Amino acid sequence: MMPAHHQPQSVTESFVMSRVSLSQLQNANRSIQAMRAMFDQPNAAPALPAPAAFDAFTLPLMQQAALIQLTETHVKRALIARLLEDAQDKPQAEDYRALVDLGLAERREADRWHHLTRAGVEPAKILTQKLCLRFNVHMLTEGGDSGWQVRYACPCGFSTMVRRSRTAWGNAATQHAASVRTKIGIGNLVQALKPPGMTEG
Ligand SMILES: [Zn+2]
């Protein structure tokens, strides 16, 4: 559980919060440039969590797009647009077939469209979170409360409970910003450790 009145924990965080106003943060999903400026300097990264599901981030770009296409999230369109902004093409039948071969998608006899399999749900979710971090697609929204506390979550995978108050959103946003900085720091480290040829972007 997080403290009700979250205080800036470092010089860096104070610096970030002074540069980015609350209203900017409230439109964080739209102010991609501001978020970039905020998060461009990765902090020292903590230890990596153990990988769980299939890492769809390693799939070819078109198969990533195909996998995201099969998920039903409000950030889907933003991610597809960013994934394919330099491509002349869209995912084709062969891309969906590749997902079927991997066990991530299926198409039943009577169906026209592919669906995620149960095994595909988690990889698609994790890929969504990674792409949100990569493309700085963030939308911190309130989702349910229990008594004193209210939950905020972002499609980048961030989730928190804060005390319900006038500053609840701001407190959650401060935690969100710190979380994104840490995750981007880890991502940069992972990229740096990859052998040549696997890096992208
Ligand atoms: Zn986020």
- pLDDT tens per residue, range 75-124: 888 899 899 998 888 899 999 999 999 999 998 878 778 899 999 999 99
What pLDDT does residue 159 have? 94
66 C-alpha to ligand 1 centroid (Å): 22
What pLDDT does residue 17 have? 35
Per-residue pLDDT for 199 more than 80?
Answer: no
The H or E element spanning position 93 is helix 93-101
pLDDT, mean of residues 126-153: 88
159 C-alpha to ligand 1 centroid (Å): 9
Q: What angle do CA 8, 10, 12 make, to 5 degrees?
A: 105
56-135, what's its fold?
Answer: Arc Repressor Mutant, subunit A (1.10.10)
Contact of 139 with 74, CB cutoff 8 Å: yes
Contact of 70 with 124, CB cutoff 8 Å: yes
Contact of 69 with 56, CB cutoff 8 Å: no
Q: For residues 109-124, b (16+ Cβ closer than 10 Å) or e, as one string?
A: eeeeebebbeebeebb
Averaged pLDDT score across all residues of the chain? 75
Contact of 67 with 75, CB cutoff 8 Å: no
Contact of 104 with 56, CB cutoff 8 Å: yes
200 C-alpha to ligand 1 centroid (Å): 21
Contact of 184 with 18, CB cutoff 8 Å: no
Q: Give every strand in the sheet of 149-153, ordered side by side.
A: 141-146, 149-153, 159-163
74 C-alpha to ligand 1 centroid (Å): 13
97 C-alpha to ligand 1 centroid (Å): 31
177 C-alpha to ligand 1 centroid (Å): 8
Banded pLDDT at 19 (limits 50, 70, 90): very low
109 C-alpha to ligand 1 centroid (Å): 38
What is the C-alpha separation between 162 and 164, in angstroms, rounded? 6
Per-residue pLDDT for 200 more than 70?
Answer: no
Summarised one tens digit per residue, pLDDT across range 73-84 is: 668 888 998 999
102 C-alpha to ligand 1 centroid (Å): 28
What pLDDT does residue 102 have? 95
182 C-alpha to ligand 1 centroid (Å): 12
What pLDDT does residue 198 have? 54
Residue % of the chain over a pLDDT of 70: 69
Per-residue pLDDT for 45 more than 70?
Answer: no
111 C-alpha to ligand 1 centroid (Å): 34
Which has the closest alpha carbon to 152: 135, 133, 171? 171
Other Cβ atoms less than 10 A from the Cβ of 185: the count is: 17
168 C-alpha to ligand 1 centroid (Å): 16
